[in-house]
Amino acid sequence: MCLLIKRFLTFAGVFSSATFTIVNKCDQTVWPGVLSNPGVIPLQPTGFTLQKGQSKVVHARRPWGGRFWGRTHCYEDSGGKFTCGTGDCGSGKLECAGASATPPATLAKFTLGGTDFFDVSLVGGYNLPVLVAPIGGSGDNCTSTGCTVDLNNRCPSALKVVNSDGEAVACKSACVAFGRQEDCCRGAYGTRETCKPSSYSQVFKTACPRASSYAYDDQTTTFTCTGADYQITFCPTSTTR
C-alpha cells in the first residue's frame, strides 16, 4: 500500500502545475524572454515587458523544461523591428517565439517533473543579476540560487560589453569572447575530466558561487525541489542603471 501511495504521489507530481512569478526590481525596464525545451508544451507568452517594480505570473504544467532571461536596452525601430542591446533573441519582435538569448545573458534554467531541477547559468555570460527562489516545495536542496551582484562593472576588460555611451551592459564568458575549445569544453576538452575552470570563469565563480560558471560547473550549482512554485527576480538586492 505504501508503495502504491508513493507511486501515485510521484505520478501526481509530474502532472501538476507550477507558477513562475517574474519580478523586475531593476532601475530600468527589463524585457524577459522565455524558451521552452523541445518536446514540451511551450509557455506563453515567450516575451513581454516589465517596467521597474512590475511582475508577471507565467503558468507551466509539469513536465516542462526551459529557460528565462532578461533583455535590456530594447527598442522598436521605425520599421517595427524589435531589438535589444543584451539578451536579444533575434526574432525581431517582443515575443521570442522559440528563439533563445544571444549571449551574454544570465539564464535561469528549469526542468520540472516529479522532482524539479534548476540553476542559474553564467556559462554564456552575464547581463543582469538574477535570483531564483522556490516558493513552497520540499527537498534537502530546495533553496534559492542565483547571481545577485553587478558583474558588469567588475568584468575583465577582455570580456566587457559596452554600449555607445561607454556604459558596461554585459560580461561575456571566455567561451563567447574567445571561442577556444578549452573555454567552451569542446573537442579534446569535451569531458568533465579535461575541461577545467579558467581564470575568467573563476571571476564569475568568486562573485557568484551558486551559479554555473562554465560547462561542467554543475555539481554544486544545480538545485532540486518537489512541488514548488518559483520566483525569478531581476536585480534582487541592488539596482542597475
pLDDT at 240 over 60: no
Average pLDDT, the chain: 92
pLDDT at 143 over 60: yes
pLDDT class of 47 with cuts at 50, 70, 90:
very high
pLDDT digits (tens, 9 = 90+) for 86-99: 999 999 999 999 99
pLDDT at 140 over 70: yes
Residues 222 and 146 sit within 8 Å (Cβ to Cβ): no
Question: Considering the domain boundaries, does residue 107 fall inside one?
Answer: yes
Question: Considering the domain boundaries, does residue 123 fall inside one?
Answer: yes
pLDDT at 101 over 80: yes
First to last CA, the chain: 58
Read off the amino acid at residue 86.
T
Question: Considering the domain boundaries, does residue 66 fall inside one?
Answer: yes
Question: Considering the domain boundaries, does residue 240 fall inside one?
Answer: no
pLDDT at 231 over 70: yes
Neighbours of 118 (CB within 10 A): 23
pLDDT digits (tens, 9 = 90+) for 159-218: 999 998 899 999 999 999 999 999 999 999 999 999 999 999 999 999 999 999 999 998
Helix H segments across the chain? Answer: 2-14, 174-178, 181-184, 199-207
pLDDT at 239 over 50: no
Q: Residue 69's pLDDT is what? A: 98
Question: Considering the domain boundaries, does residue 239 fall inside one?
Answer: no
Average pLDDT over residues 31-41: 96
What is the total count of domains within the chain?
Answer: 1
Helix H segments across 81-180? Answer: 174-178
Question: Any idea what the CATH number is for the domain that residue 202 is in?
Answer: 2.60.110.10
Question: Considering the domain boundaries, does residue 106 fall inside one?
Answer: yes
Q: Which long-range contacts (CB under 8 A, 24 or more apart) does 235-238 make?
A: 235/24, 235/25, 235/26, 235/27, 235/128, 235/129, 236/25, 236/129, 236/130, 236/131, 236/146, 236/148, 237/129, 237/131, 237/148, 238/129, 238/148, 238/149, 238/150
Structural domain harbouring 96: 2-234
Q: Residue 10's pLDDT is what? A: 42
Q: Residue 99's pLDDT is what? A: 96
Question: Considering the domain boundaries, does residue 241 fall inside one?
Answer: no
pLDDT class of 238 with cuts at 50, 70, 90:
low
